Amino acid sequence: MPRANLDEPPSPSPAQPPPASDPKSPATGKPVEKPRASKFRAQKAPITLTAPAVERLRALQTSPTDPRLIRISVRNKGCAGMSYHLEYVKPEEAGKFDERIQQDDVTVLIDSKALFSIIGSEMDWKEDRLSAKFVFNNPLAVSCGCGESFAVK
């Protein structure tokens, strides 16, 4: 049996490629991280507006002397616990974390605290002989007996 010489370093075998070195930054000498591949998907709006709701919102918002937006929020009220609340807001008074929804040249704000209880809803405008109001069709909501408030499933 031939004896290996322990004083000499082992020679690399021709079948194995040399180990790959990570690319290093010339400035710092640290390994450079590759940017992660990100896949952007179009975000679905938290709330959709029906055509009658867009028409009514457009009529409420078109004032050249006093431009206003409508903010949707949720308040504690009623036997189920929550109810929708709409208020006028000047564009410069919009909250830092309010969600801005734009659909058919109409802009609506959603209060950040109400976002999770409104997400996936549809806002509609209903008129009958006795009343005219915005109606929210919310798949996450369970209505109370009186119909004035809701709770999230």
CA angle 84, 60, 73 (to 5 degrees): 20
Instruction: With CA atoms as reference, report the closest residue to 88 among 65, 105, 113, 71.
Output: 71
Question: Residue 99 pairs with which residues in a beta bridge?
Answer: 110
d(CA 124, CA 49): 6
Which tops the pLDDT comparison, 95 or 50?
50
Mean pLDDT of the region 113-118: 89
Mean pLDDT of the region 85-92: 90
d(CA 74, CA 149): 10
Q: What ranges make up the beta strands (E) of the chain?
A: 47-49, 69-77, 81-89, 99-103, 106-110, 121-127, 132-137, 141-143, 150-152
Q: Which CATH fold would you assign to the domain 47-152? A: Hypothetical Protein Aq_1857; Chain: A; (2.60.300)
Radius of gyration of the chain (CA): 30
pLDDT at 111 over 80: yes
Q: Express each pLDDT in 34-82 by its tens digit.
A: 555 556 555 677 899 999 999 999 998 887 778 789 999 999 887 778 8
d(CA 31, CA 124): 55
Structure confidence at residue 129 as a pLDDT band (50, 70, 90): very high
For position 26, what pLDDT does the model report? 63
d(CA 81, CA 96): 26
Structure confidence at residue 143 as a pLDDT band (50, 70, 90): confident
For position 50, what pLDDT does the model report? 96
Domain boundaries of the chain, sorted by first residue: 47-152
| C-beta neighbour count of 68 within 10 angstroms | 15
For position 22, what pLDDT does the model report? 58
